A and B are shown apart, each in its own frame.
Chain A
Amino acid sequence: GQNIDQPTEMTATEGAIVQINCTYQTSGFNGLFWYQQHAGEAPTFLSYNVLDGLEEKGRFSSFLSRSKGYSYLLLKELQMKDSASYLCAVKSGGYQKVTFGTGTKLQVIP
């Protein structure tokens, strides 16, 4: 089976930096995604990591350590519109199925 853990909720201040952690246990790991989901809307793709290291994309960066089963999403220069749930998702198995964590609800405050 698979196990994906991430904090349930986080609060951060506008303009600050926040790091959302994700740990996972899986067999046949093939990559890790981060998605953003605003309330009542569908998830949208943010990033993908398959090798160890940091991938930077504008204000968002994602890090992966395969040996530790660990990833984080780093959001810089937080804006109010970044208030959303952030979903960590792991791709694994022969058919490369993607399994989602429960999500971290981020609230950005002024």
Chain B
Amino acid sequence: DTGVSQNPRHKITKRGQNVTFRCDPISEHNRLYWYRQTLGQGPEFLTYFQNEAQLEKSRLLSDRFSAERPKGSFSTLEIQRTEQGDSAMYLCASSLSAGQGLYSYGYTFGSGTRLTVV
């Protein structure tokens, strides 16, 4: 297994265009997360899937953002009508689900997609 894979690594787009990013999680992981990170800040939660179900979506995620995880495997994050404020690193992570207890599986992050909106 090659870990969490994200494509593309970099994306430069003009304001107003739509962009789509892809994340391929570790195959046996049933949880998948999208985060956004800007320079000097920690990752901000965007949304979260368990299998194909989108269980939570941040209020940060405007109507221009949509994420899918068909068949509970790879996921896509689409941003419509991009704005300059959307410029950031978009990180995908996956994990195994674990009940509350002494052990929790940490997230495995992908290398991210760096979006620049010009």
A-to-B contact residues, CB < 8 Å: 4, 30-31, 33, 35, 41-45, 48, 50-51, 87, 89, 91, 95-103
Chain B residues whose C-beta falls within 8 Å of the C-beta of A89 in the assembled complex: 42
**Residue ID in chain B nearest A42 by CB atoms:** B109
> Which chain A residues lie closer than 8 Å to B107 at the CB level?
43, 45, 98
Contact status A33-B109, CB under 8 Å: no
**B contacts with A: majority SS:** loop
Query: How far is the CB of A79 from the nearest CB of chain B, in Å?
Result: 22
The answer to whether B55 touches A100, judged by C-beta atoms less than 8 angstroms apart, is: no
Q: Are B104 and A102 in contact (CB under 8 A)?
A: no
Number of A-B contacts (CB under 8 A): 57
B106 adjacent to A45 (CB under 8 Å): yes
Sample of 9 more A-B contacts, CB < 8 Å, known A95-B56, A98-B33, A103-B41: A30-B100, A45-B106, A48-B104, A89-B42, A95-B48, A98-B107, A100-B44, A100-B45, A103-B40
Interface membership of B43, Cβ < 8 A = yes
Contact of B42 with A102 in the complex, beta carbons under 8 Å: yes
B104 and A42: CB pair below 8 A?
no
By a CB distance below 8 angstroms, the chain B residues around A91 are 104
Sample of 19 A–B contacts (CB below 8 Å): A4-B42, A31-B104, A33-B104, A42-B110, A43-B109, A44-B109, A48-B104, A50-B101, A51-B102, A89-B42, A95-B48, A96-B100, A97-B45, A97-B56, A98-B45, A99-B45, A100-B35, A102-B41, A103-B42
Interface residue? B91 (CB, 8 A)? yes
- Please, what's the 1-or-0 string for B32-68, where 1 marks a CB less than 8 Å from any CB in chain A? 0101000011111100101000011000000000000
User: Is the CB–CB distance between B110 and A102 below 8 Å?
Assistant: no
Give Cα A97–Cα B56 distance, bound, in whole angstroms: 8
Question: Contact mask B84-118 → A, CB, 8 Å, 1/0?
Answer: 00000001000000001111101111111000000
